[in-house]
Structure 1
C-alpha cells in the first residue's frame, strides 16, 4: 500500500498557526513558538512566511473563502428553520477563525490588509442579513419596515461580530477552548436570531421560539422564574 504524500510544509504551518492563534490569541503567539510547535527551524518558517502578517493574511484569505459562499446563500432562506441553519453555519465559520474576532481591535491597528478589507466584509454580512429579512417578509413570515430592517440587519452584524468577545469576557480562561465550541455557537446563534422575534408573525414566531428553546445549552438555561440568557 502506497504511503500518503506528506502535507506541504506551508499547509502545516497555517494549520498549526491557526490552532495556536485560536487557543492563545494572536498577540500571544510568536513565530518562534510556531516553529517550535512544528519542530522546524525559524529559517524554514520564514522561508514560507517571511513575516507574521503574512501568516495572518493567509489565514484571513482562507476565512474569506469559507465565509463568502455562506453569505451568498442568504437569499435561499425561506423560513425560520432555514434562518437557524444559516446562522449556525455562520457561527461555525466564526468559531473556526475565532482569533480574528477575539483580537479584532488589536489586529486592525497593526495589519493594513485587515484594516482595508474589514469594512467590505461587514457590509457583506449586513447585506446578507438584510436579504434574510427580505425573503422572510416575502414569504409572509415576517413584517418589518425598511427602516427597521436596516436597523435589525446592522444589529445582527454587530452581535455576530462581537459575540465571541462577549464569551471571552465572561470566561477568559475557558470560553474559546475547543470544548466550549458547541455551547458558544448555540448561544450566539440564539441571541442573533432572537433579534427578529418581534417582527415575526404568530406562527413562525412560535416556531422560532421553540427552536431557540430546543437548542438552548444548559449554561444559558434560565433559573426558576427567570428569562433565558
Structure 2
C-alpha cells in the first residue's frame, strides 16, 4: 500500500491551531506557541498566515464549508432517525470547532468580518432547522403548527450552538478530556432532539427514546455527571494555559 502523502504545512498549522484553541482557548494561544507545537519557526507560520486573524479566518472558512454540507441534508429529512443524524452531525462539527463558540464574545470584539459571517451562519442554521421540522411534519413523524416552527427552530439552534459551552461550564476539568467527548456529544444530541419530543407522534417518540437510550448508554458509558460545588467552581482554564499567550 502506498504511503499517504505528507500533509502540507498550512494544513498542519490549521490542525495544530484548532487543537490548541479548543483546549486552552484562542485568546490564550499565540502564533509563536503554535509554531513551537509544530517544530517550525514563527516566520514559517507567518509566511502562510500573516496574522492571527488570518489564521482564524481560515479555520472559520473550513468550519462553515463543513457546516453548509451538513445543513444541506436538512431538507431531505422526513423521519426522526434522519433528524437525529442531521443534529448529530451538526453537534459533532460544533465540537471540532468548539473554541469558536466558547470564545465568541472575545473574537467578535476583535473582528467585524467575523461578526457578519457568524450572523449569516446562524441564519443558515435556523433555515435548515425550519426545513428539518417541516420535513418531519410532511413525513408524518411530527405535528407542529406553522406558527410554532420558527420558535422551535430557534430553540434547536440555540441548543446546538450552546451545548458545548454548557458542558464546559458544568465540568471544566472533565470537558478538557478527549475521553469525555463521546458522552458529551451523545447527551447533547439527546437534549437537542428532546425539544422535539412533545411534537412527535407516539411511534416517532418511541423511536427517539430508543435512539437516546442507545446513544447515552453506549460503550463510552452514561452522560457526564454534574459535578459537586467544588468542581463546579474550579477555574475553566488551567493556570499554565494563561502563560501560553505570551510564549
TM-score over 0.5 for the pair: yes
Q: Structure 1 regions of 5+ residues with no counterpart?
A: 223-229
Tell me the TM-score normalised to structure 2 length.
0.85
Shift of 1:102: 1.4
Are the structure 2 counterparts of residues 156 and 176 from structure 1 closer, same or farther at C-alpha, using a change threshold of 3 Å?
farther
Of the structure 1 ranges 31-40 and 105-114, higher mean CA displacement relative to structure 2 is found in 105-114
Residue 113 of structure 1 aligns with which residue? 113
The residue matched to 2:175 in structure 1 has which SS?
Answer: coil
Shift of 1:112: 2.1
Shift of 1:210: 2.1
CA contact (8 A) 1:57 1:113 kept: no
1:27 aligns with 2:27: yes
CA contact (8 A) 2:184 2:223 kept: no
Q: Larger RCO: Structure 1 or Structure 2 (Cα < 8 Å, ≥ 6 residues apart)? A: 2
Are the structure 2 counterparts of residues 139 and 13 from structure 1 closer, same or farther at C-alpha, using a change threshold of 3 Å?
same
Shift of 1:177: 3.0
Are the structure 2 counterparts of residues 86 and 4 from structure 1 closer, same or farther at C-alpha, using a change threshold of 3 Å?
closer
1:40 aligns with 2:25: no
* RMSD of equivalent CA atoms: 1.8
Residue 223 of structure 2 aligns with which residue? 219
1:148 aligns with 2:152: no
Distance across 2 between alignment mates of 1:105 and 1:221:
28
Aligned residues: 222
Shift of 1:4: 5.7
What are the within-5 Å matches in structure 2 for residues 183-194 of structure 1? 183-194=183-194
Tell me the TM-score normalised to structure 1 length.
0.91
Are the structure 2 counterparts of residues 215 and 7 from structure 1 closer, same or farther at C-alpha, using a change threshold of 3 Å?
closer
CA contact (8 A) 1:126 1:157 kept: yes
The residue matched to 1:133 in structure 2 has which SS?
Answer: helix
CA contact (8 A) 2:186 2:215 kept: yes
Shift of 1:187: 1.1
Are the structure 2 counterparts of residues 138 and 5 from structure 1 closer, same or farther at C-alpha, using a change threshold of 3 Å?
closer
Residue 126 of structure 1 aligns with which residue? 126
Shift of 1:43: 1.2
Deviations 1:83-106 (A, max 9, x none): 111111111111111111211121
Distance across 2 between alignment mates of 1:3 and 1:196:
46
What are the within-5 Å matches in structure 2 for residues 84-103 of structure 1? 84-103=84-103
The residue matched to 1:174 in structure 2 has which SS?
Answer: helix
Shift of 1:52: 0.5
The residue matched to 2:124 in structure 1 has which SS?
Answer: helix
Runs of 4+ in 1 over 6 A off after TM superposition: none
Residue 50 of structure 1 aligns with which residue? 50
Distance across 1 between alignment mates of 2:151 and 2:69:
24
The residue matched to 1:50 in structure 2 has which SS?
Answer: coil
Are the structure 2 counterparts of residues 4 and 78 from structure 1 closer, same or farther at C-alpha, using a change threshold of 3 Å?
closer
Q: Structure 2 regions of 5+ residues with no counterpart?
A: 227-247
Are the structure 2 counterparts of residues 2 and 170 from structure 1 closer, same or farther at C-alpha, using a change threshold of 3 Å?
closer
Are the structure 2 counterparts of residues 122 and 3 from structure 1 closer, same or farther at C-alpha, using a change threshold of 3 Å?
closer
